[in-house]
Amino acid sequence: MSQVRVRFAPSPTGFFHIGSARTALFNWLYARHTGGVFVLRIEDTDQARNSEEFLNVIYDSLTWLGMTWDEGPKVGGNYGPYRQSERGPIYKEYLQKLIDAGRAYEKDGAVWFKLLGDRSEVYDDHRQKTVTKVANTPAVIDDQIRGRVERLEDEDFVIFRSDGNPVFHFVNVVDDIAMKITHVIRGEDHLSNTSKHVELFKAFGVQPPVFAHIPLILKQNGPGKMSKRDQGALIEEYQKRGYLPEALVNFLSLLGWSPKDDREKMPIADIIALFDFPGINQSNARFDDKKLAHMNMAYLLELTADVFVVQARAYYEKLGTPVAAVALAADPVYFREVLLISQPKIKGLEELPAYTAYFFAEDFAIDAKVRDKVMGKGDPKARLAELAEALATADFSSDTAIEETIKALATAKGLGFGDYQSVARLAVSGTNVGPSLTSMFRVLGRERVLASFARLAA
Ligand code: GLU
């Protein structure tokens, strides 16, 4: 077979969301899997609803996610221009072909596509008017995911509006023909349009491309399709929040597709190698932000120390808040240590500033609820005093050395490590969550640890 050519054809009418990104990704993966060409085509014929801002978000998001396009805006190609708003003459040319073949006519200022078959006037109760029905045979779609789908088109439809603008069905098909698209991979919501498209392909005397309609993405809670307005829907958000694009791509790949062995976390090379139509599910996928967060955590954990620190610093720099500025102004070696002991504990870079704030402030807040709970049980002040005494001469050079000191103290007092843990954590951090206690001690250093003990005991 000839080289695979797929396209991602967004309409820039809103911010770039999870559903669009997933459609783009499946096309990109199929192109990479088959050694084909990934085309980016901008469907911006609806002038009133398109914006340049949304267009730039599409370019930025695709680039951020690593889905580089082989043909399209900015990179060019042999079948351009790649913005429908610049393809007016091509549409005129294709319209002429239909007119010449007797398959288009004008009525009420609009241009209509003419179906083949006997015609009869029928009163349509629902629309309360007489319509012309055409005795046509159903269009057959051998969908790679849905299987064989038949759908009857029995009424002519508009292809150019009375304002002179071409209609989606027409430009979509013309461009798929002109750009030599071999496979159309798009959301299942377009399945109902496909019979119109098949009729148009046939009218142009062109074999329709292979269709693959991918399952919808359902919103996290409740029924219905995820929309741009749903929480967590916008790709840009994840970029701002410091998510790793690799994690997001891995997560998106699993929205409606799975490899045979049910693996989840996979390097992109493996996803490309395994991605194919048989692995795409018929059933709808459900968006799950916890799964995404866990995926991101898994990817964060894998970053080498140097890469993690570079990414985290870049995130703080972009953030530009006072808290971020204080951390960036701190000793870089200290900041690095704080970041590295937090790396295994956070789900996303976005958590870091709040998670580590007390490392950069002497007078950090003490969570009242946690304090009441911790201080209300046993004799925490005595524990703190014992620990202070032991730590005064302890070796702070490694987590293990600190751990041994605490364990030895606990054994000597007939207690457990846990008896010292919560109160010590409360003292150094003001809360009950954070990096490992011994790592915190090591990074903060003896002086600050003892000072925080004194502050809590006071
Ligand atoms: N512009 C259409 C959309 O954004 C593309 C449909 C298609 O991929 O054929 O839904």
Q: Which residues are bridge partners to 212 per DSSP? A: 185
Stretch(es) of the chain classified as CATH 3.40.50.620? 1-73+215-302, 87-214
**Lookup result for tokens 């006072």:** 322
Q: Which of 408, 420, 410, 429 has the alpha carbon at shortest distance from 381?
A: 420
Determine if ligand 1 sits within 6 Å of the CB of residue 11. yes
Residue 125 CB partners (closer than 8 Å, separation 6+): none
CA distances in angstroms from 108 to 29, 111, 144, listed in the order given: 44, 8, 39
Look up residue 435 and give its amino acid. P
What is the dihedral sign for C-alpha 234, 240, 243, 245? Answer: positive
The widest CA-to-CA distance across the chain, in whole angstroms, is 99
- Could you give the count of Cα atoms lying within 13 Å of 99 in the half-sphere of its Cβ? 11
Question: For the residues of 209-274, what is the DSSP string, one character each?
Answer: PEEEEEPPEE-SSSSSB--TTSTT-BHHHHHHTT--HHHHHHHHHTSSB--TT---S--HHHHHHH
Ligand 1 centroid to residue 296 C-alpha, Å: 29
Instruction: Verify cis geometry, omega within 30 degrees of 0, for the bond prior to 81.
Output: yes
Q: Which of 196, 141, 169, 157 has the alpha carbon at shortest distance from 9?
A: 169
Query: What CATH number belongs to 1-73+215-302?
Result: 3.40.50.620
CB 16 within 8 A of CB 235: yes
Domain 87-214: which CATH class?
A: alpha beta
Look up residue 114 and give its amino acid. K
Determine if ligand 1 sits within 6 Å of the CB of residue 43. yes
CATH for the 368-457 domain, from 1.10.260.40, 1.20.1090.10, 2.30.40.10, 1.10.10.350: 1.10.10.350
Determine if ligand 1 sits within 6 Å of the CB of residue 208. no
Determine if ligand 1 sits within 6 Å of the CB of residue 12. no
Please state, in angstroms and rounded to a whole number, the distance separating the CA atoms of residues 267 and 294. 15
State the pTM of this model: 0.91
Ligand 1 centroid to residue 242 C-alpha, Å: 29
CB 431 within 8 A of CB 374: no
Ligand 1 centroid to residue 193 C-alpha, Å: 10
SS3 99: helix
Q: What are the φ and ψ backbone dihedral angles of 153, each rounded to 5 degrees?
A: -100, 120
Protein residue whose Cα sits closest to atom 5 of ligand 1: 9
**Lookup result for tokens 């911790």:** 374
| Ligand 1 atom nearest to CA at 43 | 1
Please state, in angstroms and rounded to a whole number, the distance separating the CA atoms of residues 90 and 178. 9
Q: Which of 216, 212, 197, 190 has the alpha carbon at shortest distance from 142?
A: 212
Look up residue 241 and give its amino acid. R
Ligand 1, pocket-test mutation among 38, 46, 190, most atoms within 8 A of CB = 190
Q: What are the φ and ψ backbone dihedral angles of 105, each rounded to 5 degrees?
A: -150, 165
Please state, in angstroms and rounded to a whole number, the distance separating the CA atoms of residues 348 and 67. 22
SS3 335: helix
Ligand 1 centroid to residue 180 C-alpha, Å: 16
Please state, in angstroms and rounded to a whole number, the distance separating the CA atoms of residues 15 and 240. 14
Ligand 1, pocket-test mutation among 11, 200, 228, most atoms within 8 A of CB = 11
For the chain (458 residues), the mean pLDDT of every run of 10, in chain order, is 93 91 98 98 86 92 97 97 97 98 96 97 94 96 97 97 95 98 97 97 98 95 85 90 95 95 93 96 93 95 97 94 95 98 94 95 94 94 97 96 97 95 97 96 97 94
Residue 278 CB partners (closer than 8 Å, separation 6+): none
CB 216 within 8 A of CB 187: yes
Ligand 1 centroid to residue 10 C-alpha, Å: 6
Please state, in angstroms and rounded to a whole number, the distance separating the CA atoms of residues 407 and 394. 12
Ligand 1 centroid to residue 158 C-alpha, Å: 18
Instruction: Verify cis geometry, omega within 30 degrees of 0, for the bond prior to 223.
Output: no
| Ligand 1 atom nearest to CA at 189 | 10
pLDDT at site 190: 96
pLDDT at site 1: 61
Task: Using the CB atoms, write b or e for 331-352: b if 16+ within 10 Å.
Answer: eeeebbbbbbbbbebbbbbbbb
CB 251 within 8 A of CB 292: yes
Stretch(es) of the chain classified as CATH 1.10.10.350? 368-457
